[in-house]
Structure 1
Amino acid sequence: MSVLTQALRAALDSRTDLLATLHAQGTDCYRLFHGSQEGAGGLTLDRYGPQLLVQSFHQPVDRDTLLGLHAEVQQRLGLPLHLVYNDRSGGNSRIDRHDKVYSAEPAALEDMIGHEWGLDYRVRGRHAGQDPLLFLDLREARGWVKDHAKGKSVLNLFAYTCGVGLSAVAGGASEVCNLDFAEGNLAVGRENGLLNPRLPEMSFVQSDYFPAIRQLAGLPISQRRGQKLPSYPRLAQRQFDLVLLDPPAWAKSAFGTVDLLRDYQSLLKPAILATADDGVLICCNNLAKVAFDDWRDQVLRCAEKAGRPVRQWSRLGPGADFPSADGQPPLKIMVLHF
């Protein structure tokens, strides 16, 4: 038995109780092997409903190894899964879609449906973007929102495919607004809404983060000298009962730069001001190089300077399918009560 097979079996053994719990909750999207913590850095195995997504980030795996991993997972779960393999170890992995190791069956690349917390989600093993359509490590935050959204107005910032928004309407939110710059992301969010027709409709705003959140917060939109800003949707100043802020690590536009390492405050301050009195802001930072304690102190100082000191805070972590030996997973989540 190979070392990798042993590592996978150990990972699956450790998840026995977790998977039983997730299945009982109506969830079939989760991480089966978290290589950086379970013996094979740069390798992940994720289940998205009826498919198994294997991704390599440091070096490709050979075909026999890949098929062996697939067989091991199918045997353990007791059901067939469509296999998709994305080798993302090359510098041009976003563009180069040639399958040098394994070509997925056409059926494996079709649109499918996965489930989380009893909700239906569009899943695609491969699409025009680099990342999966549902970030699995944010599952606990989506569950928290579902449990605490009843009767609340919810603003989902950097909404991606609107999983948090869907969780909010499922939890009885009075209003849900999903905001994202990419229309392709929001299109999947609309699909997710249609896949759950029993739920109320959500609203969607396609906009750069900075002009949108600064309008909501009642702050001016800065303009660089000599440069004309692109057009953007006009929004009225207002606050929401529950706000989710989950930005990417880095992005740049004509309106500003998203930089979780050097300037988290420029993202956080307007989000705080767009949160209602006695409201809740859930903020995230996915940079592994940022220590939780340092980030927490930064967040609390920013709230104090904005005149909205945090009354109470708590920490949410990824689920047990994202183990962390030192208790410091890359994704850090704080729930701030004002």
Structure 2
Amino acid sequence: MQALIDTIARMAPSGDAHRVFHGRGGLHPGCEDWTLDWYPPVWVATHFGNTSDDDVRALGEALQARWAIIGQGQPLNWVLQRRQPDGPVSRPVTECMAGSVPEPHVVHEGGARYLVQVMKGQNRGLFLDMAEGRRWVRDHARGARVLNLFAYTCAFSVAALHGGATEVINLDMAGGAMSTGQRNHRLNFAGTPRDGRARFLVHDLFHSWGKLTRMGPYDLVIADPPSYQKGSFVALKDYPRLLRRLPDLLVPGGQALICLNAPEIPESVLREQLAREAPTLVVEQRLPNPPAFADASPDRALKVLLARQG
């Protein structure tokens, strides 16, 4: 795990949440099972599979040594989550190894604030690999009506409103995640002119096309579904059903941000599905991922395509 230790020794202070080390990208031999994230004021290390007590001790010592230099006298807070390798999902085991975790835990990114939860489950409330997607939305949302599908905790919606969107419709079938999304909006916009510009629909997308079409059309549609969530969305089966509906939701010249985080599905498959199911949508670019998420295989990394309605 030397590459992880070396990265920790070079870490610089930052006020924004971000990934520090991405062993999962395959660019650090011997560290493929490690990631390290910064959710201020907490370091979150994740290990996939079994790890030794010696490795955990070395990680803690490296964090403590670097924090003594960059931590401005604050106590070190760090969390370790152990997950099973890719395959059947089991409950992760999460421990606070030093310090504490604030509750509520609010982090910053690009001037926005988001609630996160680093002690429960695998999904922490803010997907750090999507930072460039949120940046793009913030930079291009001025004056736009936005539809945010599979909204989760509505981070895209917060970014769009920070960027000047006139309205955002958020849809997700998970009521708990949408409740957090509403709290995220209050954190950012309560008492401001942007308060009230977001709507929150707890619906199953595939039973809501009529309602969404009547509420449209939209200047921007964001589709960031889970790659595999039983009873909700399975990428290989359901993405074609989603793509063929997008043109009807967009204004002429409108844009769609099409996201896929499924390492087993290459970009070419997503492009082929798009060309077949929505030929009026023309791909303009694939957005970059944050540099920390560099991957030996771009096809395994997060794929975010920007398409425009012809």
TM-score, normalised to structure 1, is: 0.79
Asked whether the equivalents of residues 160 and 186 of structure 1 are also in contact (C-alpha less than 8 Å), the reply is: yes
Partner residue, 1:89: 84
Asked whether the equivalents of residues 54 and 85 of structure 1 are also in contact (C-alpha less than 8 Å), the reply is: yes
Q: Deviations over 1:238-277 (max 9, x none)?
A: 3211110000012343xxx622124420122223321222
Q: Deviations over 1:110-169 (max 9, x none)?
A: 322111111111122123x43111000001000000011001101111001100000000
Partner residue, 2:304: 333
Matched, 1:251 2:229: yes
Matched, 1:56 2:47: yes
Shift of 1:8: 3.4
Asked whether the equivalents of residues 5 and 59 of structure 2 are also in contact (C-alpha less than 8 Å), the reply is: no
Matched, 1:138 2:130: yes
* Helix, strand or coil at the partner of 2:294: coil
Count of aligned residue pairs for this structure pair: 296
Shift of 1:75: 4.8
Partner residue, 2:203: 207
Cα RMSD of the aligned pairs, angstroms, is 2.5
Partner residue, 1:292: 267
Moved more, 34-43 or 161-170: 34-43
**Percent identity of the aligned residues?**
31
Q: Which runs of 5+ in 1 are unaligned?
A: 218-235
Distance 1:171 1:161 in 2: 18
Q: Deviations over 1:192-215 (max 9, x none)?
A: 112113443321111112112354
Matched, 1:123 2:112: no
Residue from 37, 45, 53 that aligns with 1:46: 37
Partner residue, 1:273: 248
Q: Which runs of 5+ in 2 are unaligned?
A: none
Asked whether the equivalents of residues 109 and 125 of structure 1 are also in contact (C-alpha less than 8 Å), the reply is: no
Matched AA of 1:211 = H
Matched, 1:32 2:20: yes
* Helix, strand or coil at the partner of 1:139: helix
Matched AA of 1:9 = D
Distance 1:170 1:281 in 2: 19
Distance 1:264 1:28 in 2: 32
Partner residue, 1:9: 6
TM-score, normalised to structure 2, is: 0.86
